[in-house]
């Protein structure tokens, strides 16, 4: 209806969440050719990887609730009082290329985009010497990967040794496969790679990557959410289990192509009496290290099966998936526990899906096979989670009693635009079909991912495009809104 100087949006809302709102705003801006509106997210719970999700959705920064007035004022000052230049506020940039023509060309592009603090170097050695001399590191480095002397691969390793925390953008005339391999290497050594551009670079592509860099820079400033990650010990976790403080969130799964709601994956949270909602990466490692992961699984599974019964009473015959650990699968009593819980709540075994991470399963397959086979004989559904990220052989996959395969999000998101990802995705789908396994596609993050799945034989979709994980009381509203979207 009009132009706004800035958008403040809650991340987690019952109908359209902040991620979807930001994506819609960015799409509309591109259609209208309008300037980029700063979008700041507000969230009470900062999940691991939240900055990356905000950035991917098109947001510029986020603030932790409750927001203090000084933090809010600082954020507003940062985004509103500085006059916009080009597409992004000015960044300090190091350009590394042995071609002086490229120095002139790219520097000119950067100046047009409002980035005047650009230093150019023709060799890796001279660039590293400049980095070592300066106390202020550049916000971004544009790196040609194919240079005489120290090449781009060596330079990436040197950046890793120096713990460079800025953004890295790869620039090269090499083919896309070489760029992708270098990008993967840089990510593996924990550098922040925004992406790559082919020579000669397109100004819009360069602007987009620098915009992402600007967003990353903003998300790491003191005005962004900086929630301290508290550590918890085994005694506190045991108390939490005994007091019923573990709560289940559920991420919906929908059938393709129609989008019918057919199931959920259970994701545990800890509702701490003092610290609020604690996410699993802060307590699951504690449970695994102290031999109490089995207690966590049983608490989650018991509540999931109880909830499955309630949904069935309401007319929703949903499949409920629960993650199980290797400790569970080496406990001979685990199968009996699952069987007893399903029977006591009158939930058919076919409605319970037990998800096992592929990599962990292959660590101790023999001891787990007994439990898995018993559960499958009782008609519980068994799923291999994160397929493609572990080290299974096709023979092992053929011989295990699984009937569901989950394709990992790393092979799903952006597969429509990446020929190599698409090839891996399609091969996984075809293999599952040959093995008579149902396929759940994880990582359906946006409309492009969804549209891509509709062109394939995919059966079930899961991801933030469908819904984020929700507390049980929000699922009815989600379902109503999801049906309207179809």
What tokens were used for 97? Answer: 């290329």
Tally Cβ neighbours within 10 Å of residue 137: 14
Convert the pLDDT of each residue in 256-303 to its tens digit: 999 999 999 999 999 999 888 888 888 998 998 999 999 999 999 999
Q: Is the backbone peptide bond immediately before 66 cis, with ω within 30 degrees of 0? A: yes
Residues 317 and 376 in one domain: yes
Residues 267 and 322 in one domain: yes
Q: Would residue 221 count as lying in a domain?
A: no
Last residue of a domain, one of 169, 188, 207: 207
| Bridge partners, residue 405, by sequence | 384, 439
Q: Which of 168-172, 188-192, 363-367 is the most confident on average?
A: 168-172
The dihedral over CA atoms of 165, 57, 13, 270, expressed in degrees to the nearest 10, equals -40
CB 41 within 8 A of CB 7: no
Lowest average pLDDT, out of 115-119, 135-139, 182-186, goes to 182-186
Domain span at 99: 92-207
CATH of the domain at 150: 3.40.50.2300
State the total domains in the chain: 3
Q: Would residue 253 count as lying in a domain?
A: yes
CATH of the domain at 343: 3.20.20.450
What tokens were used for 210? Answer: 């620098």
Residues 42 and 108 in one domain: no
In the predicted model, what is the mean pLDDT of the chain?
84
Cα distance between residue 64 and residue 227, in whole Å: 8
Look at 371 and 187; give whichever has higher pLDDT.
371
Tally Cβ neighbours within 10 Å of residue 37: 18
Residues 105 and 74 in one domain: no
Burial pattern 446-456, b for ≥16 Cβ within 10 A else e, equals beebbebbeeb
Residues 265 and 314 in one domain: yes
Q: Would residue 50 count as lying in a domain?
A: yes
Burial pattern 401-439, b for ≥16 Cβ within 10 A else e, equals ebbbbbbbbebbbbbbeeeebbebbeebbebbeeeebbb
Residues 376 and 479 in one domain: yes
Q: Would residue 172 count as lying in a domain?
A: yes
Q: pLDDT at residue 327 above 80?
A: yes
CB 100 within 8 A of CB 59: no
Residues 41 and 98 in one domain: no
- Mean pLDDT for 134-138 is 88
Residues 285 and 330 in one domain: yes
- Mean pLDDT for 203-228 is 65
What tokens were used for 1? Answer: 């209806």
Convert the pLDDT of each residue in 176-209 to its tens digit: 777 778 888 888 888 888 888 888 787 778 887 8
Residues 20 and 125 in one domain: no
Look at 276 and 394; give whichever has higher pLDDT.
276
Q: Would residue 223 count as lying in a domain?
A: no
| DSSP run (H or E) holding 304 | helix 293-313
Last residue of a domain, one of 61, 81, 101: 81
- Mean pLDDT for 438-465 is 93
List, edge to edge, every strand of the sheet that includes 167-172: 117-121, 92-96, 140-144, 167-172, 192-198
């Amino acid at each position: 209806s009009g132009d706004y100087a800035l958008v403040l949006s809650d991340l987690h809302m019952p109908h359209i969440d902040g991620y979807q709102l930001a994506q819609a705003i960015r799409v509309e801006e591109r259609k209208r050719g309008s300037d980029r509106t700063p979008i700041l997210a507000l969230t009470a719970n900062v999940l691991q990887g939240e900055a990356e999700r905000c950035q991917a959705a098109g947001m510029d920064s986020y603030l932790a609730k409750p927001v203090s007035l000084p933090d809010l004022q600082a954020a507003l000052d940062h985004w509103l009082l500085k006059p916009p230049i080009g597409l992004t506020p000015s960044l300090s940039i190091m350009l590394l290329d042995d071609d002086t023509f490229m120095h002139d060309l790219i520097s000119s592009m950067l100046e047009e985009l409002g980035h005047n603090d650009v230093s150019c170097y023709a060799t890796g050695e001279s660039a590293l010497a400049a980095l070592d001399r300066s106390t202020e590191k550049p916000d971004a480095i544009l790196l040609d990967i194919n240079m005489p002397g120290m090449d781009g691969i060596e330079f990436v390793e040197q950046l890793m040794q120096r713990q460079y925390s800025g953004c890295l953008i790869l620039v090269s005339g090499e083919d896309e496969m070489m760029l992708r391999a270098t990008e993967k290497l840089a990510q593996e050594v924990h550098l922040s790679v925004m992406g790559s551009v082919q020579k000669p670079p397109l100004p819009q592509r360069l602007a987009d990557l620098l915009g992402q860099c600007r967003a990353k820079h903003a998300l790491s400033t003191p005005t962004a959410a900086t929630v301290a990650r508290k550590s918890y010990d085994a005694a506190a976790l045991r108390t939490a289990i005994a007091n019923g403080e573990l709560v289940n969130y559920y991420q919906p799964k929908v059938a393709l192509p129609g989008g019918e709601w057919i199931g959920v994956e259970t994701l545990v949270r800890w509702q701490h009496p003092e610290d609020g909602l604690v996410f699993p990466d802060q307590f699951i490692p504690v449970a695994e290290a102290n031999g109490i992961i089995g207690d966590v699984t049983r608490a989650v599974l018991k509540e999931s099966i109880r909830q499955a019964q309630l949904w069935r009473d309401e007319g929703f015959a949903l499949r409920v998936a629960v993650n199980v650990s290797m400790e569970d699968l080496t406990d001979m009593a685990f199968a009996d526990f699952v069987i007893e819980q399903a029977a006591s709540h009158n939930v058919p075994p076919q409605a319970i899906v037990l998800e096992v991470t592929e990599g962990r399963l292959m660590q101790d397959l023999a001891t787990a096979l007994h439990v898995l086979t018993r559960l499958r004989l009782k008609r519980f559904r068994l799923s291999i989670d994160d397929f493609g990220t572990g080290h299974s052989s096709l023979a092992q996959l053929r011989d295990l009693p699984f009937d569901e395969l989950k394709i990992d999000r790393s092979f799903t998101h952006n597969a429509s635009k990446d020929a190599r990802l698409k090839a891996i995705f399609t091969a996984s789908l075809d293999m599952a079909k040959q093995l008579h396994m149902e396929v759940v596609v994880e990582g359906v993050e946006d409309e492009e991912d969804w549209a891509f799945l509709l062109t394939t034989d995919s059966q079930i979709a899961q991801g933030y495009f469908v819904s984020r994980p929700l507390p049980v009381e929000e699922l009815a509203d989600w379902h109503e809104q999801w049906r309207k979207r179809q």
